[in-house]
Amino acid sequence: MGRAGGGPRRPRRPRLRARLTVRGCLTSFFVLIALGLIASWLLLPPIASGAIDQGLQLAGFHGDGRRVTVVASPPLELLTLHADTVRVQASDVTYQGLQAGSVDVTLGDVALLDRTAGTIDGTLTAVSFRGVDGLTVSVASIGPVGDRRCGRRHGRPQCL
């Protein structure tokens, strides 16, 4: 029996009206893109600093209070593996037989993938290393290095 017959009515199920429209889909898409850009803007410099710090440590650069600061303007430039400056600061440094009381070096125009820099500037203090003849050479301070241009020569990075 149908409704015309006066039979019992079944309760209606509520309809979900949450159909996605094109406008709603585009809004969601642009909100996700904006959140991704904001997160990249804020998170890429610290992530790059940590990666460079780990790379230095793996290469044998050890020191107390080691701090690596990466600056890229805009920070999204780090997605192309390029940084405007990379500053390395540390004290009581050892690196491949070289010892230094402190290191404060800033590399400019850095290509992170190629591991090259356009400029280098900084100071090393209380530097000592063992020479080829076995004698220890000590220098009170090296620097300021100045604005040196660096590039590639015969396929190897070199500062001029």
| Model confidence pLDDT, tens digit, residues 82-122 | 999 999 999 999 998 899 999 999 999 999 988 888 888 99
pLDDT of 13: 65
Q: What is the pLDDT of residues 61-85, one digit of tens each?
A: 999 999 999 999 999 999 999 999 9
Burial tier of 52 (Cβ tally within 10 Å: 0-12, 13-18, 19+): buried
Distance linking the first and last C-alpha atoms of the chain: 97
- Number of Cβ within a 10 Å radius of residue 121: 17
Tell me the pLDDT tens digit for each residue of 26-57: 888 899 999 989 998 999 999 999 999 999 99
Position 52, amino acid: I
Indicate the pTM of the whole model: 0.72
Domain boundaries defined on the chain: 20-159
Q: Give the list of residues 6+ apart from residue 140 with CB closer than 8 angstroms, or none.
A: 125, 126, 127
Report the distance separating Cα 70 and Cα 156, nearest Å.
Answer: 23
* Cβ neighbours of residue 59 closer than 8 Å, sequence gap 6 or more: 95
3-class secondary-structure state, position 151: strand
